[in-house]
Amino acid sequence: MTYPVSGSCQCGGVTYTLLSEPKLVVACHCKECQKLSTSAFSLTAMVDADAVVFEGEMKEWSRVADSGNISAATFCPTCGNRIYHFNPTEPENIKLKPSNLSDTSLIQPSVHIWVSEKQDWFQIPDKVKVFDKQL
C-alpha cells in the first residue's frame, strides 16, 4: 500500500490523512467493541499521533476500561462515526478506526485480543497472535 491514504466518517464531516503504515492492526473481541462495531469485533490500527492529520469537528466520549485506564473516543457529531480512540495519558498514540479509510486493504489484523469474549461462530485465522484478554 502507498501512503498517504485518506479516510472519512460516513457523512464526510471529518476527514483525515494517514501518512504512514500502522504499527499494528488489532481485532478486539471484547463486549464493548462488539457494541461499538455492532458486529463480532472492532478493528483498530495503532498509529503515532503525528502520523495522522485530521480535519473537521469531532466530539469526545470516554469510559473507564477494565484496566482502570481511561478509554477516550473521538467521533463525528453529525453521523456518529468513531474516528479514533486514545488514552489521555498517552496522547502520542492513536487507536485509529481503519474501516473508514478509502483503501481498506491495510485492514489485516495480525493480533486478536479479548478472544475470551469472542463470538463462538467466528473462526480466527491461522498464524495470528491471540490473547484471551488485553495485549
Residue in the structure block whose three cell numbers are 498517504: 4
Does 2.170.150.70 match the CATH number of domain 5-130? yes
Q: What is the pTM of this model?
A: 0.85
Domain spans, the chain? 5-130
What are 28-85's pLDDT values in tens digits?
A: 898 887 887 888 888 999 999 999 999 999 999 988 877 787 889 999 999 999 999 9
On whether the CB atoms of residues 49 and 94 are closer than 8 A, the answer is: yes
In this prediction, what percent of the chain has a pLDDT beyond 90?
63
Q: Are 96 and 103 in contact (CB under 8 A)?
A: no
Give the mean model confidence (pLDDT) for residues 119-128: 92
CA atoms within 13 A on the CB side of 122: 15
